[in-house]
Each structure stands twice: as C-alpha cells, then as structure tokens.
C-alpha cells in the first residue's frame, strides 16, 4: 500500500533519479509534417507545452491543426535531466508525458491550442488519465511566456464552471511556467502516424465539454 500511494506522489529532489547529461537522440524531421523536430524554429513562431496523459494521442491532435509547424513528445515538469521512458514511468523523475507544439500565432492562437487541450481529455483526474495511473499521466500546461501563463490561467477559470455543471470534480491540471522539455525516445515521436502505427490506439478525444475560448481548428482523429 505504501508503494501504491508513493507512485502518486511527486518525488523530492533527494528522491529523484539522477538522469544524465546527454539528450535523447531523435530524428531530425517530423514524420508527418516534414519540418524540423528539434529546431531551429522560424522567426515569430512560439512554443507551447501540454500534458494530457499518454502523449501519443495528444501529439496527433496537435499536428493536425493548421498553423502548427512541428510537434514532439517528451517529458516536462520534473526534476531528472534527460530521463528515459522507463525512468519516467517509475514516478521518480517528476515528469509528466508532454507534447511540445511549435506554432505560428498569425495562423492559430495560443487560446485555440488551449481549447483543444481542455476539450480532449479529463483535466480533473489528478495523477491519472483514465486507466493510465501515475504521475507521468497528470494534466498540465507549461507556459513558455508570461503571456501564455496568464492565458492558461484565464482559460482554466473560464472552463471550471463548465466542468462543474457537467458533474465533474475540480480541475487538477497543473499550470506553471515551463522548465526544460526533454525529448522522448525516437520511437515515441509521431507514434500514431501512418508511417509508424496507423492502427495504434489512443484514448484522447472530445470529452463532450466546450471551453468558452477561441475556436478550435483541429480535425477529427
């Protein structure tokens, strides 16, 4: 029982795994979009980071949005530098599975990305998403600018009454300024693309709630 409870607690710096100095090697190109996976990014583009549970399906939601230049999956919000997937799954790195979204704000706004985030998972489940249980599945928004942080907090406040009226609990999504984003192993990148796993499973999709900001531009998965 102690181990079960501990799995749902974030580690302290003393408990966290040591990690490593070297970054995870990944492909230079996005499997679907053909754009760079690790940069450099075009002038004027911005970076957003979201955690929605398993990062496979979450990434697919974002790469389909017009105005999104590149996406990648990785680990964010934790302590351990350059963790592996297996280390992250122990709960001893502090990271959640995350999607990094590079977008052109002249085509798609950060608010529109937030709308896709809120409407395609359950942000009230704490350290889990559906049957996926653990700290690595927690809901999160990591803002890369002060403006993003303000918009993310405002979007949560706008969505909270909708969630409550639908009978859900309190929103537990973590919203904070972004720390380092560590790329996941190459086989995780664009995992649900036709080139890798066209029949792959993900549990992301509309939760039936409408977040009252922006207008989502995603297509159905």
Q: What pLDDT score was predicted for residue 139?
A: 98
pLDDT band at 217; cut points 50, 70, 90: very low
Q: Which residue among the candidates 54, 89, 202, 211 is catalytic per the annotation?
A: 54
CATH of 2-188, one of 3.50.50.60, 1.10.10.10, 3.20.20.450, 3.30.1060.10: 3.30.1060.10
Q: Is the pLDDT of residue 175 over 80?
A: yes
Tell me the three-class secondary structure of the chain, residue by residue.
Answer: CHHHHHHCCCCCCCCCCCCCCCCCCCCCECCCCCCECCCCCCCCCEEEEEEECCHHHHHHHHHCCCCEEEEEEEEECCCCCCCCHHHHHCCCCCCEEEEEEEECCCCCCHHHHHHHHHHCCCCCCCCEECCEECHHHCEEEEECCHHHHHHHHHHHHHHHHHHHHCCCCCCCCEEEECCCCEECCHHHCCCCCCCCCCCCCCCCCCCCCCCCCCCCCCCCC
pTM of the model: 0.92
pLDDT band at 56; cut points 50, 70, 90: very high
Q: What pLDDT score was predicted for residue 7?
A: 65
Comparing 221 with 121, which gets the higher pLDDT?
121
User: Longest Cα pair distance anywhere in the chain, in angstroms?
Assistant: 51
For the question of residue 202 being annotated catalytic, the response is no
Q: What pLDDT score was predicted for residue 188?
A: 97
Domain boundaries defined on the chain: 2-188
Q: What is the mean pLDDT of residues 80-84?
A: 98
Percent of the chain with pLDDT over 70: 92
Q: Is the pLDDT of residue 214 over 70?
A: no
Lowest-confidence region among 25-39, 79-93, 187-201: 187-201
8 A C-beta contact, residue 26 and residue 38 = yes
pLDDT band at 201; cut points 50, 70, 90: confident
Comparing 90 with 6, which gets the higher pLDDT?
90
């Amino acid at each position: 029982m102690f181990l079960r409870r501990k799995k749902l607690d974030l580690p302290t710096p003393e408990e966290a795994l040591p990690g490593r100095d070297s970054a995870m090697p990944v492909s230079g190109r996005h499997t679907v979009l053909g754009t760079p996976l690790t940069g450099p990014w075009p002038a004027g583009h911005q970076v957003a980071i979201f955690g929605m549970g398993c990062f496979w399906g979450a990434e697919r939601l974002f790469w389909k949005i017009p105005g999104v230049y590149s996406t990648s999956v990785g680990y964010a919000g934790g302590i351990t530098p350059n963790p592996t997937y297996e280390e992250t799954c122990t709960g001893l790195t502090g990271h959640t599975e995350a999607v990094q979204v590079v977008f052109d704000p002249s085509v798609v706004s950060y608010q529109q990305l937030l709308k896709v985030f809120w409407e395609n998972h359950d942000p009230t489940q704490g350290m889990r998403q559906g049957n996926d249980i653990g700290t690595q599945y927690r809901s999160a928004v990591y803002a890369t600018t002060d403006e993003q942080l303000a918009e993310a907090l405002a979007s949560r406040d706008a969505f909270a009454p909708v969630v409550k009226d639908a009978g859900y609990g309190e929103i537990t999504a973590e919203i904070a300024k972004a720390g380092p984003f560590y790329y996941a192993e190459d086989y995780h990148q664009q995992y649900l693309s036709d080139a890798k796993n066209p029949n792959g499973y993900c549990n992301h999709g509309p939760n039936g709630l409408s977040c009252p900001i922006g207008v989502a531009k995603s297509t159905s998965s």
